[in-house]
Structure 1
């Protein structure tokens, strides 16, 4: 009886370009955790040799850097766009929230990974530094809106900033693009809750009728 030849793993240039390789790597990082994922894990998931992965990147750290930069670049663009706007700070803050929701929807796996970064490597510490720059801008907008009388003054601006973007960031835990609402509708919902609140405004009461004297 003859034995079927065994097909060896593909070597050299893989059947993945960098973009598709990065998409799979981010999926695995989000499933297993970055630190718990080895190059061997990625090799098995991709069905290619580790040397084929190294054809595109220097290692796991570079994959992480490319992934978190994808999220951070989107947020930075939203921040630059907001900084170029004129008008009241509260309106610019709402614009930034809306644009951030769009970035999250469009780059969901990358933003999800960014929010799980803890600063254990040089790449992670660099990502956290860029996040702090974004957070500083949010805090400054909140402070300006408070000075203009558009944000309540009995809550610390830093707390407002964290609560506001805590709401945005929580979308990564449950939002799924397939079958869910689009980015515009999701941004509308977030802004209504964040800037208007949950409570339905009371219906206007009819003016009392004037009683005519007999």
Structure 2
């Protein structure tokens, strides 16, 4: 996708680039990103816990930082492309005896092995900007969640101007090294942002945003 303001193509991400990036990040992810992302993570899981339905899919579960926050009555399955991150998540589940975590599976979020309508809720925290094709991720989440269920995202979305806009676009060519797109926009995820019934800024400083989309049945 070309950047309309700068006119350069977005640096491509692929599954190999993502795996390699998160192999490097796995050992330090919690200390580097755990704090700054904590408020957004808590906000997303709090929303999940209030929604009806017991069967929850966490897409891009990473090192499992969110897993202890789920209501024990929610049955959680987590998937991630990174085997190294999943190893950390499995250690967390064992250490904290999280019996409601039913599985942690290495899986491509853009091509999931689950049957249609397998879950009541799917939540992707800090994941949409990581995958090669966020709209394909969205379609797969819609497919594996039952009609009437809910899709939730917490993510960084690019600024529309100012110093942050400049910084995000300056970093954009480094996407393959970073493992995510700094210049990711809400329109890269949703065909129509009006699909969302909630768009809520999260701390710190509104850097992340919670987006909730009902999984309405297709006409």
- TM-score, normalised with respect to structure 1: 0.27
Higher RCO (Cα < 8 Å, 6 or more apart): 2
Quick check: which one's strand share is greater? 2
Which has more radius of gyration? Answer: 1
- TM-score, normalised with respect to structure 2: 0.26
Quick check: which one's helix share is greater? 1
